[in-house]
Structure 1
Amino acid sequence: MDLRQLKYFLAIGKEGNLTKASKKLHIAQPPLSYQLKLLEEELGVKLVERTTRKVKLTDAGNFLFNRGEQIIEFVETTEKELKDFNEGIEGTLSIGTTASASSILYEKTTNFHKIYPKINFQIRERNNSAILELLSNGIIQIGIINAYYDSNNLLHKFFDLKNFEFKHLYDEPMVAAYADNFTSSFLEETIPLSSLNNLPLVLHLKLKNIITDACSALDFTPTVFCESDDVRSMLTWADTGMGVAIVPKSAIILASNKNLLYKEITNPNLITKTFIVWMNNHYITSAVKHFLEMFEE
């Protein structure tokens, strides 16, 4: 199996049709069908089920499709790294970030672009575990992730950092986000966690246990109205006026709706810690080194 065959197969899988795939690849359909047949014979598995109008991936085909996309991305990243043994004046930085940490990324990339205008960016917004997986697979070069304190004031680990280098960037509190017509009881700029007792809450799936523990320490059980794994979705739920979303303070920039109000929650157990991470056993390009230097300032 060579990369050309793999790219042909990926095009077939994406288009679901040999004719469309051949047009996208700018080759005739017979040679494309022949390369697919050679690939199946070489691998000893059937990759697609053919009908008169379309093709459907088999289980083996779906496996190769998912793995193939990672292989192509890894090869492209490797090629970029091999071209960057000098000063990193040109190239592409592949970065993964959580939604709530994207604000610092926007700031740093803006400043970095002024110094290195020929370096492009490839940004993937994912959760912590997905970012670390992309780092481990060599798909991205840098990740920006979050961690939290639990009710015992110990760092709550969503990830194992033994294979990574990391730098702590900043701490931030969590905020209560709610529609301006939801309640008028929050008069101060900051509120205690206990003020959310008996209110319907919108919680992030990964933060539910931490928030529940913090509430338990104050002798109440939170009323969970909705759970989500996406911060933007949580803010949308809050905007409906049906509940209060508890999110990191930096998530405020993710909401374009001006009807949302925010109150900082004063609780030492609800602190978000943000880290920048990279692999400790991979080649670090000059572009990555220069970008990491931005966080030393």
Structure 2
Amino acid sequence: MDIKQLKYFYTIAEEGQITGAAKKLHIAQPPLSYQLKSLEDELGVKLVERGSRNIKLTDAGHLLYKRAKQILSLTKSAEDELRDFVQGTQGTLSIGTVSSSGASLLDNRLSTFHDKYPFINFEIHEGNTFELLELLTNGVIEIAIVRTPFNNFGLNSILLQKEPMVAAMSRDLCWTDKNTIEIVELKDKPLIFYRRFENLISKACENYNFQPTVYCKNDDARTSLLWANSGLGVAIVPKSAIKLIGSSDIIVKEIISKELSTQIAIIWPKTGYLSTAGKNFLNLFLDT
């Protein structure tokens, strides 16, 4: 007994006659009658009582009709699910993010993606850039969302718009009423920043003939902001990262400098597997 035979039998039962079933299935009547007889012989039971025009299901026929309906329904569901999976409309997408990219991920792009692909689930891995690059290389995640600078060897990337770095501080450490500051104003200030930005910040300060006073280096933009909010120093973070700590009394000053800027990058390996769901996710950023 196979799916084809079940479909033939189910259609016969639904139509109540072999002639009508043959028309619906677009096959000739004799082959359909033969398939029904073969199914009865294989199962060793009589499935229908044949009349001059119509057929009537036996008790065994009613049982098989019920099961055939369930099986055919499950078969269709499986076909639909596999089709959806191939088309990237169903499944689980594993991506990695650095903490400072979270605000950019959780914007209208993700809402748009969810509206279009409501049956795609996410598995999120958070870590620093080096950890995410390793997960990407090992195939644990398909896509990573990181910040420049990073080693892009062997990677495809989509770079989002550049954004400035900002100085975030408590009211006690605030030295100006202006909304923007020059790099030179950071001289002798206790700075807190994500370790990966150390070279970027140091070079920018050196261009203004001073060495930054480093109070704390860490691996998470949220840590920088929380320490700054506690009055321990001045955090240097990407502008969008401010959203990570939600409501606070922290004061933010944009740093006027082309050198102190960063970009979010969506990266994936040049070689290796990328699911259709992953490709659909990347399309969110291609027109940015």
Report the TM-score, using the length of structure 1 for normalisation. 0.66
Is residue 102 of structure 1 aligned with residue 93 of structure 2?
A: no
Displacement of 1:257 in angstroms is: 4.2
Matched, 1:200 2:201: no
Q: Which protein has the bigger helix share? A: 2
* Distance in 1 separating the partners of 2:166 and 2:235: 8
Contact 2:146 2:264 in 1 (8 A): yes
Contact 1:170-1:275 at 8 Å conserved across structures: no
- SS of residue matched to 1:238: helix
Partner residue, 1:91: 91
The residue aligned with 2:114 is: 113
Gaps of 5+ in 1: 1-81, 149-157
Distance 2:246 2:159 in 1: 28
Query: Can you list the C-alpha shifts for 1:133-157, whole angstroms capped at 9, x where unaligned?
Result: 1111111111111114xxxxxxxxx
Contact 1:84/1:285, CA 8 A, preserved across alignment: no
CA distance in structure 1 between the partners assigned to 2:206 and 2:222 by the alignment: 27
Using the size of structure 2 for normalisation, the TM-score is 0.68
Helix, strand or coil for the counterpart of 1:181?
helix
Distance 2:193 2:104 in 1: 23
**Aligned mate of 1:211, from 190, 201, 210:** 201
Contact kept in structure 1, 2:169 and 2:231, CA below 8 Å: yes
Greater Rg over alpha carbons, structure:
2
Residue 83 of structure 1, CA deviation: 8.7
C-alpha RMSD of matched pairs (Å): 1.7
Q: Could you tell me how far apart the structure 2 residues matched to 1:115 and 1:268 are? A: 37
Matches of 1:223 and 1:289, distance apart in 2? 44
- Residue 253 (structure 2) pairs with residue 263 (structure 1): yes
For residues 203 and 86 of structure 2, what CA distance do their matches in structure 1 show? Answer: 50
Q: Deviations over 1:174-211 (max 9, x none)?
A: 0000012322x222211101111111111221212221
Structure 1 residues 145 and 106, CA gap change in structure 2 (3 angstroms):
same
SS of aligned partner of 2:96: strand
- Look up the SS of the partner of 2:93 in the other structure: strand
- Partner AA of 1:198 in structure 2: D
Distance 1:140 1:93 in 2: 8
Give the corresponding residue for 2:133: 132
Matched, 1:177 2:178: no
Q: Does 1:145 align with 2:146?
A: yes
Q: Is the 8 A contact 2:148 2:262 kept in 1?
A: yes
**Distance (whole Å) between structure 2 residues aligned to residue 281 and residue 198 of structure 1:** 47
